[in-house]
């Protein structure tokens, strides 16, 4: 999806026009996947380092779980909650 930004010199306002009529959910899917993988790799890596240092395997497992929970939190924060389709029909 490409967007073009133009600025009107008379009113000093910016307008954004998109060449795509519908938003692409393909980018959202890759974004969600990258959040999950990055969170689990980062916190799992920290847990792995700590488990090797202290010789306790449970630190790796806790790191992976924390990474998964943190990534789900960031996904909900970034993409929000999908609105219920019944809410749109009630106003009609």
Residue 44: CB partners within 8 Å, gap ≥ 6? 60, 63, 64, 67
Residue 13 has pLDDT above 80, yes or no: no
Residue 61 has pLDDT above 90, yes or no: yes
Q: Residue 37 has which token pair?
A: 């993988």
pLDDT (average), residues 21-29:
69
1/62: higher pLDDT: 62
Residue 2: band (very low, low, confident or very high) from pLDDT cuts 50, 70, 90 = low
6/75: higher pLDDT: 75
Q: Which of 14-18, 19-23, 61-65 has the highest mean pLDDT?
A: 61-65
């Amino acid at each position: 999806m490409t967007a073009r930004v133009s600025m009107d010199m008379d009113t000093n306002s910016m307008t954004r026009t998109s060449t795509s009529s519908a938003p692409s959910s393909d980018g959202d899917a890759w974004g969600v996947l990258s959040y999950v993988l990055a969170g689990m790799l980062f916190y799992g890596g920290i847990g792995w380092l700590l488990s090797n240092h202290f010789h306790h395997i449970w630190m790796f497992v806790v790191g992976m779980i924390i990474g998964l929970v943190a990534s789900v939190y960031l996904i909900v924060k970034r993409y929000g909650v999908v609105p219920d389709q019944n809410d749109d029909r009630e106003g009609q």
